[in-house]
Amino acid sequence: MKDTFSLSLRSVIITLLVMALTVASLTGCGKKVIVTPQASPSKGAEQQLSEQALAAYNSGDYTAASSLYDRILQKQNLTRAQKRSAWRYYALSTIKSGRATLGLQALDKWESNQPGVIDSTEWQDMWMMAVKQLPAHKSLAILESTYAKTSNPWGLRANAALLLAGVEWRKGNTGAALTSLEDLYAKAPSKKYKAALERSLFAELNAIDAQLLATISGFLTPENEITYPYSLVLLEKARRAAGDEQNWPSAWAAIERLRSLGKLADPTIIDAVLAPLKKEFGEPTHGIALTLPLTGPYGSIGWKIVRGAGIAHWQLTNNGYNFALKVINTESATWEQELAALPKGFTIVGGPLRKDVFRKIYDKDLTEKHAFFTFLSSLPAGTEGEDAWRFFSSPKDQIQTLLNFAQFNLGINNFAALYPDENYGKHMSQLFVERASQQTEYPVLTASYTPNQPQGWSKDVKKLLVQSDQENQELHAADGSFTNASSQEQYKDLPYKPAFQAVFLPDSWKNMESIIPHFFFHQEDRAVFLGPTLWEQGLSAGRKLESRYFKLAIFPGIWNPFTPTNASKQLVQAMDDAGLGKPDAWVGLGYDFIRLAAGMGSMPADWDDDTVNEELASAQSMDWSIAPISWDADGLASENLFLFRPSRNGFVPINPESFANRLNAVRVRHDERIQMMKDEADTDKAKELGLTIEEYRMQRNEAANDVHTTETAEAENSGLFSFETTPATSQ
C-alpha cells in the first residue's frame, strides 16, 4: 500500500497549485476558470466508495475497509464531517486489522480533526487495543509517556497505567504494579472512573494464564483483599476455582465475602460472577461461620483470623471435606440480621471477638441455635460449656503455665507480685495470688506501684525487697534460726534476703525495661521474673534489648514460630506459597478453629451442650498450630501455653533444662559475691581490732552463741515457744 501520508501531502500540493491558478484566472479579463477533474469529481463515485468502505468495515473485513478509507482520505473536497468520519473508521479498521503503529497515528489524526474525541470510550478503547499489539519495549515507552503527560484526559492516563501494570507484572514486578494501581484508584476523580478501572482490570485478569494469576494472588493479604485492585484478583481467583464443583463452597465463601464486605464502585461485577454459579451449584446450607470485626479498630485482627480460617478451609475442601465458610462482619449495621438468618446447617460459629457483641448474641438467644466458640478470654459465669465455649487462652491459663514451670521445673514455691495500681494489674495480681497460694500452700507477698510515675519505681521495688527481707527474718526467727542484731549491723551493706524466689509482674514490656533493672540496682539478681502474654507485643517491636537484666524473665505465648508443630509447618508453608508472609497467633487461631470445627463433624439438628462436649472430647486431640486447647467433660477450656524469654533481638523459646542451669549458676555467683563481701567486712573489722581474721571470727561466734542462748531463754520464758502436745486449758 502507498504511504498514506505521502499521498495526502501530494494531494494538498496539487490542490494549492490549482487554487493558485484559479485565483490568477479570476484576475484576468474575460479569462475562464480552469477546473481540474479532481476538483469536481463524480458524486456518484464518491458515494459508492464510502458505501463500499462502510460495508467492508461492518462485515469485519478490516483490511479492505482500511484500504478504502485510505482512498477516501486522499480526496480533496471532503467536508469536516466527512473527514472526521473517514479518520475514525480508518483508525478503527487499521487497528482491528493489526497494524498498531499506523493505527496510533490515525488516532492522532482523528483527534486533531475532532477535538475532544480523545475523552470518548471508543477512542480510548482503540488506543488500548493498538498498544496491546505492540512489542513490549515499544508499548512500555508509549504507556509511560502517556501516563506521565498530565494534560492527557484522566481516563486515558488510567488506561495507560492499567496496561503498564500488566507489562510490569509480566516482567516480574508484580508488587510495584499492584501498588501503582492502588495509587491510581485512590486518585480517581469520581466513582464513575473507579468503576471503569474495576471493569478494565477484571477484563485483564480474565485473560491472564493460571500461573500469572497465582503469582498476583500471592500479594493478597487480610487487610487488602476487599479493596482495589486486590479485590478483583480475589474475585478472579474464586471465579476460576468455582468451575470445580468440589471447590464451590470455598469459592462461594470468597465471593460472598466480597459481595458483603467489598468496597467496589461497581458491585455488579461481583453479582455477574456469583449469579450464574449459584444457579448452577446452588447456595451452600451446611458450613461454619465466623463472627468477627472486619472494619474498625479491631478489623486487622479479624482479617488475620479470616486468613487462617480461609487457608484451613481450602486445605480441607481439597481433601474431601465439603462445607462452606461464611464470615459476618460484626461492625456492619446488619450483622445481627445476617446472624439470625444463618441456616441451621451452620451449627458451629467462631467468635465473637468482643464481649459486648457476645452479650447481644446471648440476649437474643442465638446461642440456642448455634454453638458459639468465642475468641474471648472469659465468658459470663455459668455460660461456659453450656451456652458457649471458649476458644482462647484465659488469664488463668497464663498464670497456670507460669506457676507450673516455676514450681515443677525450677523448684520455686515462694512468690511475690508487684503490679501497677490499675484495673488490669490488680485483676491479674489477684488471680496470681489465689492460684499460687492454693498450689504451693505458701503466702504470696504483694506490692503495687503507680503506673505513670516511673520516678518512684525504684523505691517501690526496694520497699518490696525490704518487706520480704523482714518477713524472711521473722520466718527464720519463728523456726529458731536466729540472726543476731550485731551480725546484721556488721553486714548492713549486704543485699536483701527476700523470701520470694520469683516475682509476677503483670504490666507491659515497656514498663518492664525500667522496673526489672531496679531489682539489680538493689542487688537482687536471683529473682525469676514472670510476665503475662502482654510482654510479647513489646518484644516483637524488634528493638535492641539490654538482655543482661532479663536472662531470668519468662512469659507465656499462644504462637511458637521457633519450634513449629506439623500443623504450623503446613500453615507456614501455605502462607509462604501464597506470598502472604509469616503467620502469627491470630492467623493460627483461625486456622485451628476451622480444623477443630470440621473435625467435630456434622452435628444433629437437635444438638445440645452434651453433644458438643462429647464431640470435643475426640476432636481436641488434633495436631495444633497454636498452643493446644483442651476441654474437660463439662466443656471448660484450658490452654497449655508456650514459654519464652526475652533475647537481644526479641524473644526465644524456653529450654527448661538450660533455664534451670542458668538460675542455679546465678544463685551460686550471688552466694560467692555475698561471701566475698563478708570476707572483706571481716578483714576490715579484724584489722580495726588488731586481730587476725580467724581470732575475730572466733570471738564473734562466741558472742553470737551467748546472745542466741539468752534470746532463746527469754523467748521460752515469754511463751513464744511451746512444746506442749496439747493446748493449755488456761493461761
- Per-residue pLDDT of 118-146, as tens digits, reads 999 899 999 989 999 998 888 888 988 89
- CATH fold group of domain 395-557: Rossmann fold (3.40.50)
pLDDT in tens, 354-387: 999 999 999 999 999 999 999 999 999 889 999 9
HSE of 529, CA atoms in CB hemisphere, 13 A: 26
Considering the domain 284-388+564-637 in this protein, what is its CATH number? 3.40.50.2300
Largest CA distance in the chain: 162
**Overall size of the chain counted in residues:** 731
The Cα 128–Cα 276 span in angstroms is 29
- Tell me if the pTM is above 0.75: no
Phi and psi for 689 in degrees, rounded to 5? -90, -5
Q: What does the DSSP 8-state code read for residue 577?
A: H
- The end-to-end CA distance of the chain, in Å, is 132
* Residue 611 buriedness (CB in 10 A; 0-12 / 13-18 / 19+): middle
pLDDT < 70 positions in the chain: 1-43, 222-223, 260-261, 474-492, 541-542, 578-579, 703-731
Amino acid (one-letter) located at 201: L
How many angstroms from the chain centroid is the CA of residue 74?
A: 64
Angstrom CA distances, 656 to 60, 648, 661, stand at 79, 19, 9
Is there a common fold for 284-388+564-637 and 395-557? yes
- 3-class SS at 353? coil
In sign, the C-alpha dihedral spanning 528, 533, 538, 542 is positive
DSSP string of 17-64?
A: HHHHHHHHHHHSSSPPPP--GGGS--HHHHHHHHHHHHHHHHTT-HHH
Residue among 412, 655, 449, 647 at smallest CA distance from 526: 412
Name the CA radius of gyration of the chain, rounded: 41
Residue 722: predicted pLDDT: 36
Cell numbers given for 412: 520455686
Residue 402: predicted pLDDT: 98
Cell numbers given for 333: 449495621
Map out the domains of the chain as residue ranges. Answer: 1-121, 135-281, 284-388+564-637, 395-557
Residue among 148, 84, 89 at smallest CA distance from 111: 84
The Cα 500–Cα 521 span in angstroms is 17
pLDDT in tens, 398-437: 999 999 999 999 999 999 999 999 999 999 999 999 999 9
415's enclosing H/E stretch is: strand 415-420
CB–CB of 641/533 below 8 Å?
yes
Task: Say which residues have a Cβ less than 8 Å from residue 453's Cβ, sequence separation at least 6.
Answer: none
